Copies of this chain bind each other. A is one copy, B any other.
Amino acid sequence: MAKAYERIADELRQSIRAGRLRPGDRLPAETRLAEQTGRSVPTVRDALRLLQAEGLVEKVHGRGNFVRRARTRVQRANSRHQWEKDRARQPAEKRARTGVAEHDTGLTVDDLVFHAAYREITANADIAEAFGVAEGTELIERSYRTRYSAERAPFNLVTSHLVRDMVAANPDLLDETKEPWPGGTWNQLSTVGIEIDRIEERVTARPPTAEETEELDLPPGTAVVVLRKTSFDTDGRAVEVSYSTLPGDRTEMLFTTHLERW
């Protein structure tokens, strides 16, 4: 004997899968569903919460419960790294025209809004290990936010770290008012003689913290994807460590691996 809220959820789930309820349609009001099923409103709400967690239903306060539409996805391919590397040595005029975010989304600079902030911090154990330096080493921490002009919430939160001594030869790199920098980090590093040779990216998914839910405007039940990127120069030294927090429901990552021939 199944639980009441599961049976209600099953019925609605089937209506959605069978197309009797289509994306964007409003479900019957909670009080109405309670009458129809002969259950109390809280029990109906338990069923709707289940469907919300599955991404099938979206609750909108004051308007109703809706069958969820697929959201536009942002693709991010590791081929972007070679592209960024190539772009870093283009003339300044060409570098300014498009950034890696536009490369990923296929949009122009006018469709996107950036925000950058710099801070000086010291390395914690985790970052120190990634860079292979002592804990407490001085770092530049740069935080980036990117969003569509048309939307309120950013689609990523990026925190990037550089070792201060490694980049201090070019004082402009310590100055946030120079953002956005044409050609981005890759060009910045090239001004102090650093060439990037290899990128390691670690991808995990986890539930969002309360702060991330707020800032990325995540619907309940959506996970965030955390991408930790380490860039190594031609000497095998880690030169940049960054963390990207991405909304799990609208991010697709594409990684291509080339193999040695037999």
Contact = CB atoms under 8 A, between A and B. Distances in A.
B249 A200 contact: no
B252 A204 contact: yes
Nearest to A253: B203
A69 to B, nearest CB: 14
A202 B13 contact: no
A45 B203 CA distance: 32
B258 A255 contact: no
Q: How many copies does the complex hold?
A: 2
B54 A208 contact: yes
Contacts of A205: 205, 223, 225, 248-249, 251
Nearest to A10: B210
Contact of A259 (B73, B199, B210, B223): B199
A206 B221 CA distance: 9
Given A89-B262, A195-B262, A223-B248, A55 B206 contact: yes
A210 B82 CA distance: 40
Chain A interface: which size bin?
35 or more
Contacts of A82: 257, 259-260
Given A204-B251, A207-B222, A197 B53 contact: no
Contact of A220 (B53, B258, B261): B53
A254 interface: yes
Interface in A213-262: 220-223, 225, 234, 248-249, 251-262
Contact of A252 (B55, B197, B202, B220): B202
A209 interface: yes
Given A78-B255, A85-B260, 6 more contacts: A196-B259, A200-B256, A201-B254, A202-B253, A202-B255, A222-B223
